[in-house]
Structure 1
Amino acid sequence: MTDPDATPQFSAPQHGPRPLPLFLDMLRSETAAEPDRMSAAMAGLRAYQNAPRPAPPAPMPALATAGRATLRYYGGRGRMVVFVPSLINPPAILDLGEASLVRWMAAQGFRVALVDWGAPGAADRDMDMTAHIEALLAPLIEQLDAPPVLVGYCLGGTMALAAAATTPVAGLATLAAPWHFAGYGAASGAMLEMWEAARPTAEALGVLPMEVLQAGFWRLDPARTVAKYESFGRLDPDGAAAHAFVRLEDWANAGEPLPLGAARDLFDRFVAGDAPGKGAWTVRGTAVSPYALACPAVEFVSATDRIVPAATAAGLADRRDLALGHVGMIVGGRARAMLWEPLAHWIASLPAARV
């Protein structure tokens, strides 16, 4: 048993939740009256920190570059499909070990590429959401030999929709992508409170650190965050489930900071002002609307998503609701049957590309 008033002692780990002190504060708050749970969660945290990790795979070759962004090519044959990840957390969620959606898609008869946003530098300080599309995403798309199908996940889906509205593409699929930010309802208050607290630091640094965003995600469901570490401590460390947990948590605890301009847009214009949902977001001189797309489009919506609630979806005519969580819909045990395969079938059903 653990004294709930004791301060947990940890050496500086190479791996762990970012920022660790805030995670430990949350752990203590959630388990203060249950010392056995605190002990179990701390044991799970130590096991996660000490878990062996294979060397990361080498980056896939570059198919195109624009500014700091790179289009990573996964090969395949047939129609080109470009996956657009969120600016928050690395793109690896779409290429996560045995649960790699992009590698599976490349084996299904498509040429597949994945956007790597790269690490923002000092010159990117004022790059807002619009500039990420106009200066990075659209130029990557326009270097391809034919308009691709865009598949955007989370905030990457928001950006993919804006790109599809202003750049020729063969189709658009969004996965758990917010558009009507008013759909966050009362949860937007906590996000804006977090942003106001972090704003002075972000303005001083020119970026919003990933640690701030991670702490915000924990606040959405702190009980679940603690419970998953409790469960991990009981897993066979050499088993497939433990290896999958480590891969996923390493992804969740990684990521480049957001440029200050993108952070301002995300919180001030999108979360607070619902600019996309109100039709007040202009890209390449066009007010972006999900209802005026010139290409076939489908959205996959997670009905149990805490990060991107279903109420924030764009409202496309072809909407597929899944009883999977935000991350589970991409890498969970039912993801292949419920998302991967329907997505592949939808892409395969699109009109043949003109050559």
Structure 2
Amino acid sequence: MDSSPTPAHIALAQGHAAPQHGPRPLPLFLNILWRETQSDPDLRRRAFAGLRKYQEAIRPPAPPQPRCIASAGPARLLGYGAANDGFPVIFIPSLINPPQVLDLSESRSLLRHMAAAGHDAYLVDWGTPGPADAMLGLDGHITRRLLPMLSALPRPPILVGYCLGGTLALGAAALRDFPAVATIAAPWHFDAFPTPDLDLIAGLWRGAAPMCERTGYVPMEILQSGFWAMDPARTIVKYAAFADVDPGSDAERAFLSVEDWANGGAPLTFAAGRDLFDRLYAANMTGNGEWRIGDTLVDPSSLTCPTLSIVSTSDRIVPAAAGPHLREERRFSLGHVGMVVGGRAREMLWEPLSLWLSSHGG
């Protein structure tokens, strides 16, 4: 029996009211949905209903845009807090998906919480790479994007990196002195990832690398398909659950914000993708102590400033064991995204992190 979705189902999923909203890549999502619900017609019906509801829902207004403090190429440094006598605090997101996960909405914003707590907080927006950026690797994002923007600040900042942004923060700290560095769900020891996930990622990159090299980009859809493949059942179940969420509720607004973020984002440069997949995931250069930026070896244990690694024992994207070994470590049990935007994020992450930053001059 053919398990592919029919044209009618594709048309239903694409809808008409808001065709720009939908999982990317949509055909792959539909194939996953069809496959995961073959033995459960009710789950299939609810998943399609949730998908249609997601596509047609009215989006809440975006929070006010912060001011741009500095730029380097397409990257921008966005200011949230008022300058004070403490060290500025720079939040560095991953290169994958937009930076808005750290400023998702008025009520779910790590950056706005930090500004309200008195920190002089800033967010890095990596922007969209241009054709000339194809060979800008992870090191170039540090040396040609991040560090030039930080030079515009009146004093050295504390760095806080989320996900791959934490890896980049440690790279930056190897090149320049900073008052303190904290990472949140940052991958470092790539040999700690489950073997099936590493095999999946390796296969995905083998298939995509030739096309990515020709175009100079790694499209977001390729990365998204890898995330879905790690847990396809959860990918579908959450849409089925969304079908029952009350319209206009906080739960609906949260789902829309998170899914719009997860389905958005600029591509990676080809060189950054090659670094990520070949040198980190495959070769574990960071975990093996072999990652260099120019002539500088990136060794977190050699940093003399205070350092903090925040990891989650229930993180499906970056396992806790994959985090860097820093001077301090804090563990809890929240999802990779939930730890920064979920209902318990304020209690478990925002407030403790704010206290840690204050204790180190932030």
Structures share a fold, TM > 0.5? yes
Alignment equivalent of 1:84, drawn from 92, 95, 112: 92
Cα 1:322–1:167, aligned 2, differ >3 Å: closer, same or farther? same
Whether the 8 Å contact between 1:4 and 1:35 is mirrored in structure 2 is: no
Task: State the Cα deviation string for residues 250-287 of structure 1 (Å, max 9, x = none).
Answer: 00000000000000000000000011111111124210
Structure 2: how far apart are the matches of 1:111 and 1:305? Answer: 29
Structure 2: how far apart are the matches of 1:313 and 1:208? Answer: 24
Whether the 8 Å contact between 1:69 and 1:117 is mirrored in structure 2 is: yes
Task: State the Cα deviation string for residues 54-74 of structure 1 (Å, max 9, x = none).
Answer: 444454211111122110011
Identity of aligned residues (%): 50
Structure 2: how far apart are the matches of 1:240 and 1:143? Answer: 38
Task: State the Cα deviation string for residues 290-316 of structure 1 (Å, max 9, x = none).
Answer: 101121110100111111111211111
Find out whether 1:287 has 2:297 as its counterpart: yes
Alignment equivalent of 1:171, drawn from 152, 164, 180: 180
Cα 1:95–1:6, aligned 2, differ >3 Å: closer, same or farther? closer
| Amino acid paired to 2:104 | L
Find out whether 1:160 has 2:166 as its counterpart: no
Matching residue of 2:119: 110
What's the offset of the Cα at 1:321? 0.7
Alignment equivalent of 2:226, drawn from 213, 216, 241: 216
| Amino acid paired to 2:191 | A
Secondary structure of the corresponding residue to residue 246 of structure 1 = helix
Matching residue of 1:131: 140
Whether the 8 Å contact between 1:166 and 1:284 is mirrored in structure 2 is: no
Matching residue of 2:249: 239
Cα 1:58–1:284, aligned 2, differ >3 Å: closer, same or farther? farther
Structure 2: how far apart are the matches of 1:4 and 1:162? Answer: 46
Task: State the Cα deviation string for residues 121-159 of structure 1 (Å, max 9, x = none).
Answer: 001000111111011111111221111011100000000
What's the offset of the Cα at 1:45? 0.2
Find out whether 1:270 has 2:280 as its counterpart: yes
TM-score (norm 1): 0.95
What's the offset of the Cα at 1:317? 2.6
The 5 Å alignment of 1:1-355 reads: 7=6, 8-10=9-11, 11=14, 13-57=19-63, 59-78=65-84, 79=86, 80-97=88-105, 98-186=107-195, 187-350=197-360, 352=361
198-207 or 72-81, which moves further after superposition?
72-81
57-66 or 325-334, which moves further after superposition?
57-66
44-53 or 76-85, which moves further after superposition?
76-85
Whether the 8 Å contact between 1:77 and 1:106 is mirrored in structure 2 is: no
Whether the 8 Å contact between 1:4 and 1:33 is mirrored in structure 2 is: no
Cα 1:23–1:5, aligned 2, differ >3 Å: closer, same or farther? closer
Q: Which runs of 4+ in 1 moved over 6 A?
A: none
What's the offset of the Cα at 1:6? 5.5
Task: State the Cα deviation string for residues 220-246 of structure 1 (Å, max 9, x = none).
Answer: 111111110011000112111101100
Whether the 8 Å contact between 1:172 and 1:297 is mirrored in structure 2 is: yes
Whether the 8 Å contact between 1:71 and 1:114 is mirrored in structure 2 is: yes
Secondary structure of the corresponding residue to residue 89 of structure 2 = strand
Whether the 8 Å contact between 1:4 and 1:38 is mirrored in structure 2 is: no
Structure 2: how far apart are the matches of 1:6 and 1:200? Answer: 29
Structure 2: how far apart are the matches of 1:125 and 1:56? Answer: 31
Whether the 8 Å contact between 2:97 and 2:261 is mirrored in structure 1 is: yes
Structure 2: how far apart are the matches of 1:57 and 1:16? Answer: 21
Secondary structure of the corresponding residue to residue 158 of structure 1 = helix
Structure 2: how far apart are the matches of 1:5 and 1:111? Answer: 52
Secondary structure of the corresponding residue to residue 108 of structure 2 = coil
Unaligned runs of 5+ in 2: none
Secondary structure of the corresponding residue to residue 86 of structure 1 = coil
How many equivalent residue pairs?
A: 350
Structure 2: how far apart are the matches of 1:181 and 1:140? Answer: 29
Whether the 8 Å contact between 2:3 and 2:34 is mirrored in structure 1 is: yes
Secondary structure of the corresponding residue to residue 114 of structure 1 = strand
Whether the 8 Å contact between 1:64 and 1:140 is mirrored in structure 2 is: yes
Structure 1: how far apart are the matches of 2:74 and 2:4? Answer: 47
Structure 2: how far apart are the matches of 1:175 and 1:216? Answer: 21
Secondary structure of the corresponding residue to residue 300 of structure 2 = coil
Secondary structure of the corresponding residue to residue 30 of structure 2 = helix
What's the offset of the Cα at 1:4? 7.3
Structure 2: how far apart are the matches of 1:22 and 1:6? Answer: 10
What's the offset of the Cα at 1:75? 2.2
| Amino acid paired to 1:15 | H
Whether the 8 Å contact between 2:4 and 2:31 is mirrored in structure 1 is: no
What's the offset of the Cα at 1:24? 0.4
Whether the 8 Å contact between 1:147 and 1:169 is mirrored in structure 2 is: yes
Whether the 8 Å contact between 2:50 and 2:240 is mirrored in structure 1 is: yes
Whether the 8 Å contact between 1:69 and 1:136 is mirrored in structure 2 is: yes
